[in-house]
Structure formats: C-alpha cells, structure tokens
Structure 1
Amino acid sequence: MVKVAHVQLSSCCGCLVSLTDTYEKLLDVLGAIDLVYSQTLADVREVPDDVDIILLEGSVCLSDHHALETALACREKAKILVALGACAASGNITRFSRGGQMSKPVHDAFAPLTEVVKCDLAIPGCPPSPESIVAVITAALEGDMDYLEPYAELAKYGSEACGCDLIVKVINKSLCMGCGACAAACPTRAVTMECGRPAIDKEICIKCGACSVQCPRIRFPELIEKIE
C-alpha cells in the first residue's frame, strides 16, 4: 500500500481543500492510498519514516526554526517530495509578506520549498486542481517520467515563475503564438489577451507560476539544453 503524507507550512489551506476534493478520485483510480499523516485529516502526531510520497504545502518561513526543521525532515523521509501549490513551488503571494504584522510578527521572510530543499516534483496553481494532484500521484506511482518531466523541471527552475516570464522568455523572443493558455490558467486574471498577445497586470500577479507552466513556448534551462 502506497504511503502518502500531507504536510502544511505557511499557506492558506487552499491546497488542502483541493486535496480533500481528490478523495473519490484517488480511491477510484488508485485504490491503495494510505494517508499516513495530515495535520487536519489524520490523527497522527508525526510524519512516519519511509513515506512514499509527501505533499508539502506552503512556503517556508526562514525565521521559524520549526518550519525549517519540518522541511528538512520531510526531505529525509520522503521517497518523492512534492511541492504542492504555488507557495511551495514558486513562493506565490508570500513573496510579498512583511514582518511586524499581526498575527505573526516574526514571519518576516519566506521562501518557496523548492529553494530550501531538493524537491522531486512541483505542482503549480493557487490552489492546484484536484485533477492535477491525482494525475501527478498516478504518474509517479506508474513511473511515467514523460508526463512528470514538466513538474520535475518546475521543481528545479520554477522558483522565480511569474507573469514576467511570458514577457522575457516568450513575447520578447517572438515565440508567442497567441493561444491564450496563460490567460486561461491565471487564477487572479492578471493575464489578459490584447491584440493576440498576453498583457500582464503586475499589481495583481501573485507569482503562482500557473501561466509559465501552461505556456507551450516556455522552456526551462534543462529542456533547452536537450533541444539544442
């Protein structure tokens, strides 16, 4: 039976809601998932050793020693560590957090999980869809590396992902084909299509990386090397 754990750091619980929405799908598709740890969904005090897949939600507060220890412990215990959601994958809106505010005045510096420990996969989205969570877990269990390659690349190079990527990596290089996938994926509607090209409203972009992952023209460094 496959052991899956869900761990939550600094986040809004949106990823947790998406995870709970996968219950029927996971049972139908996999049938053998054992949720061995979840702060909300399971009555277990500590993450067990030798977990097959750990879904870690949220960014890491660098001034919180417990958060750092949790991230490191999850890396040691997980065969596959997944950065679940935009906060863990790219930093998301926690990039804009400031210290000295109620109710967590000590939380003055955040970093995505992908910048703190080595992650095997990263699932973007704010929150990620239940379908994407099921698809990634299924592919991981089946060893479908072709399907998982974009998620693995995001875990390596996607910590700076935001709407600006579309301008720097696609529009400025005349690669945009006007498909609109970026605008459709944006959860805050910061990306709109104008004259067949995406326009980015930086005021409402939360750096979730959803547009970068959906764009068929963006290639992370390792993929570019393979193509060249």
Structure 2
Amino acid sequence: MVTVAHVQLSSCCGCLVSLTDTYEKLLDVLGAIDLVYSQTIADAREIPEADIILVEGSVCLDDHHAMEIAQDVGKKAKILVALGACAATGGITRFCRGGQMSKPIHSSFSPITEVVKCDLAIPGCPPSPEIIVGLITAAIEGDMEYLAPFSEFAKNNTEACGCDVIEKVVNKSLCMGCGCCAASCPTRAIEMVEGRPLILNEVCIKCGCCGFQCPRIELPKNVMVLE
C-alpha cells in the first residue's frame, strides 16, 4: 500500500483545507493509500518514511526546527511534493521583507523547492482538491504524461509570477489570446486587454498558476514515479 504524509510549515492552512476537501474523491483511491502523518488530521507524532510526502508552506530560514523538518522530509520521502504556492514558489511569503528575495542573512522565508530537492510541485493558492487527487492518483499509476508539468515546475519556479507569461509567451509572439492565464489566476491579477494578458503586479502573489496553465509554455516530460 502506498503511504502518504502531509507536513505543514509556514502557511495559512489553505492547502490543508483543499486536502481535506478531497476526502469524497479520495474514497475511490483510499484502498491504495495509507495516510500515515498529518499534524492536524492524523494521530502521529513523528514524520515517518513515506512514498509520497506533501509539504505545505514555506521554510523560515532562521527557524532551526523548520530547517530540520525540511531536511528530514527530503530524506524520508520517495516522492517529495511541494503543495501550493508557498511551498512551490514562496507565494506571498516572498514579500515578508519589503518584497526582496529571501536570503539566509536575515529572517526570511523560502519555498521548500529552494531548500531541498522536490520531485513534484503543485501551483495554486490554494491548489484545487481535484489537482491534489489527480497528482496522487497519477503517481500511484505511474502516469508520466500527467506528472511531467509538476516535475518541471518543481525545478523552474523561483521567478513564478505573471511576468513569466509576458517574457516567455507574449514577448515572443506566441500568445494566442486563449485567456487560460487570466482564468487560472486566484487573485485576478491578470486582465485580457485586446486579446493579450495585462499583469497587475500589485495583486500578483507569485503562485505560478498562470505560467503552469499556459499552453504555450512547453514543459519537458521528466518525472519520478512510484514503482
């Protein structure tokens, strides 16, 4: 049976709410997984080794306990998943020190993808219950085509923001005006003007959803799956 753990670092619990909202859908796959750890919804004291560990929230760089947890899950997970914007990209915690990027020389926060190697990362603030169920199911079944974008997102997301769509798509004349970026934005930081996205930087929370959903940003198929 595939074991799954949920670990929470510095976050608002929004990703946990999405995880708990999956219960009705997870009934279809509960026969294949065993939830072995979750600080809120499972009775376990220590983080065990697990096939899949979902990490929610960013890592406080001057919190020794948070750093130890990050290192611990990196060693104990067969597949380590950054769950949601804070874990995958830093999200709004990027702005905890006047908007400057996180550095270890002062109190700051970084996504776990910058602290330890993550195999997969799920964008969103919070990610939808459907995408969480889809990823777990795909990992169990070894669906590499489904998992490929999540694998690439775990490696190339430090600048995740609306600027990605402008730099990688619009400025290269690749935008076809589909509006997927605007539709996926949880804070409505993207407006479609004359068939092209307009980024409202003061509203963008760097969750990475827009670039993840854009059909013009090509992601290679390179992923680690359960055997």
Aligned-pair Cα RMSD in Å: 1.6
Alignment partner of 1:210 is 2:224: no
Q: What is the Cα deviation at residue 160 of structure 1?
A: 1.5
Q: Which residue of 1 aligns with 2:20?
A: 20
Write the distance in 2 (CA, Å) between the matches of 1:72 and 1:175: 40
Whole-angstrom distance in 1 between the partners of 2:32 and 2:23: 12
Mapping for residues 140-219 of structure 1, pairs under 5 Å? 140-219=139-218
* Aligned residue in 2 for 1:103: none
Structure 2: distance between partners of 1:72 and 1:114: 11
Note the alpha carbon deviations across 1:13-67, whole angstroms, 9 max, x for none. 0000000001121121342321111010011111112x01000001111011111
8 Å CA contact retained: 2:149, 2:221:
no
In 1, distance between residues paired with 2:206 and 2:220? 19
If each structure's helix is expressed as a fraction of its own residues, which one has the higher value? 1
- Letter of the 2:161 counterpart: C
Taking the TM superposition and a 5 Å limit, the aligned residue runs for 1:212-227 are 212-219=211-218
Report what 1:226 is aligned to.
none
Mapped pair 1:68 → 2:70: no
> Gapped runs of 5+ residues in structure 2?
99-105, 223-227
Tell me, yes or no, if the aligned pair for 2:144 and 2:221 is still in contact at 8 Å. Answer: no
Q: Are 1:89 and 2:88 counterparts?
A: yes
Equivalent position of 1:102 in the other structure: none
Alignment of 1:77 onto 2:82: no
Match runs of 1:20-39 below 5 Å? 20-39=20-39
1:150–1:221 CA distance, 2 compared to 1 (3 A): closer
Contact preservation (8 Å) 1:157, 1:220: no
When residues 123 and 171 of structure 1 are mapped into structure 2, their CA distance, relative to the original with a 3 A threshold, is: same
C-alpha deviation, 1:158, in angstroms:
1.4
Secondary structure of the equivalent of 1:114? helix
Contact 2:148–2:219, Cα closer than 8 Å, also in 1: no
Distance change (3 Å), C-alpha of 1:158 and 1:220:
farther
- The residue identity in structure 2 corresponding to 1:174 is S
Structure 1: gaps of 5 or more residues: 100-106, 224-228
**What secondary structure sits across from 2:92 in the alignment?**
helix
What's the % identity of the aligned pairs?
75
Q: Which AA in structure 2 matches 1:171?
A: V
Q: 1:78-130, CA deviations, whole angstroms, 9 ceiling, x for partnerless residues?
A: 0000000011111100000139xxxxxxx830111111100000000000000
Post-superposition CA distance 1:127-173 (Å, at most 9, x none): 00000000000000111111100000000111211001111111111
* TM, length-normalised to structure 1: 0.91
Higher deviation after alignment, 26-35 or 114-123 = 26-35
Contact residue 26 and residue 33 of structure 1 kept, 8 A: no
User: In 1, Cα distance between the equivalents of 2:132 and 2:173?
Assistant: 33
Measured after TM superposition, the shift of residue 220 of structure 1 is 5.2
Select between 179-188 and 214-223 the one with higher mean Cα deviation. Answer: 214-223
How far, CA to CA, are the matches of 1:222 and 1:96 in structure 2? 32
| TM-score, normalised relative to structure 2 | 0.91
